[in-house]
Amino acid sequence: METTDQFLDQLKAIGQAADAAIPLAETALILAALDHAGTDLAPYRAHLDQIVEDARSSFDSLRRGMTENEAAARVLADTIGVRHGYVGDNATFDDPQNADLIKVIDRRRGLPVSLGIIYLDIAHRLGLQARGLNTPGHFLLALGQGDHAKIVDPFNGGVVLSAEELQPLPPVPEGEAPEYGPVERRDVLLRLLNNIRTRALAGKDMLRALTIAERMVLIAPRRSELWLDLARACEGVGKLNSAIRAAQSSVSISGAQSAVGREATFVLQNLKRQLN
């Protein structure tokens, strides 16, 4: 059975990996395992393997009468939503268990993004083109590309949404990700963690918020804004030296003249004044 140190080493390696090489469900399981000391991940990995095999066994037959994207959407919905019973947790949406993949698998309930991670992971392991979407207030995924892509809602049983059910795309400021545009695997995991951090901050659990900020930096170490968030989280619990190191990392990554760099420099100066 793996130890906490081994899990942390695996997350560090994931932080250095190319985005396309990140195994979504495995990474989410490792993140969850940090909150469940002594839990054996083998049964959870085996369960995901079984979903893949179940999906693969019916995919080829479905493809005979459908396009690949249509068959992919059907097999994911049938296998994950129907056969294995995964649904969105409307009754207790804000329950922290909904963002913990171990508990999501135990309960077959989750948030849009945690369920989306299962859908995406199974799709990737079947060799399908699948991307998470930058969807405001929800989480959707696209199977395939272009006009023939199928937009799937994992929270609602894997239902395929029509173009009419999606909001029109608004103008996007330069440098920002467009709504409904594809997002990287790393961003999907950060969205999962941000759900946990947001709830911790709402409950004024600053130590928990710090723990999650540390995990976000582990899997996305080149994101200067995350180092800035970590600096603030460290400051919030009185860890000023750690806050200074995090702010310095933010400046180093982003550059002192960038917007994030200027903000991190201001935070850094304030932290140093507190120590003097």
The pLDDT of residue 217: 98
At 53-76, the pLDDT tens digits run 999 998 888 777 788 999 999 999
Q: Which amino acid is at 80?
A: I
Q: Which stretches of the chain are assigned E, i.e. beta strand?
A: 87-88, 109-110, 130-133, 141-143, 150-153, 159-161, 182-183
Long-range contacts of 122-128 (CB under 8 A, 24+ apart): 122/25, 122/48, 122/51, 122/52, 122/55, 122/76, 122/79, 122/80, 123/72, 123/76, 124/23, 124/24, 125/52, 126/52, 126/55, 126/56, 126/59, 126/72, 126/75, 128/68, 128/72
CB 80 within 8 A of CB 122: yes
Q: Which amino acid is at 140?
A: L
**147 has a pLDDT exceeding 70:** yes
The pLDDT of residue 167: 57
At 93-136, the pLDDT tens digits run 999 999 999 999 999 999 999 999 999 999 999 999 999 998 88
**7 has a pLDDT exceeding 90:** yes
Percent of the chain with pLDDT over 70: 94
Beta-carbon contacts of 69 under 8 Å, excluding residues fewer than 6 positions away, are: 143, 144, 148, 149, 150
**Nearest Cα residue to 169 out of 134, 131, 129:** 134
Provide the mean pLDDT of the chain.
92
Average pLDDT value for residue range 19-41: 97
Q: pTM of the entire structure? A: 0.93
SS3 of 261, please? helix
**25 has a pLDDT exceeding 60:** yes
CB 260 within 8 A of CB 225: yes
Report CA dihedral (258, 263, 269, 272) to the nearest 10 degrees.
-110
CA distances from 66 to 63, 69, 71, 141 (A): 5, 8, 6, 19
Q: Which stretches of 171-231 are assigned E, i.e. beta strand?
A: 182-183
Domains of the chain (ranges; CATH) run: 4-185 (3.10.620), 222-275 (no CATH)
At 203-262, the pLDDT tens digits run 999 999 999 999 999 999 999 999 999 999 999 999 999 999 999 999 999 999 999 999
> φ and ψ at 38, to 5 degrees?
85, 0
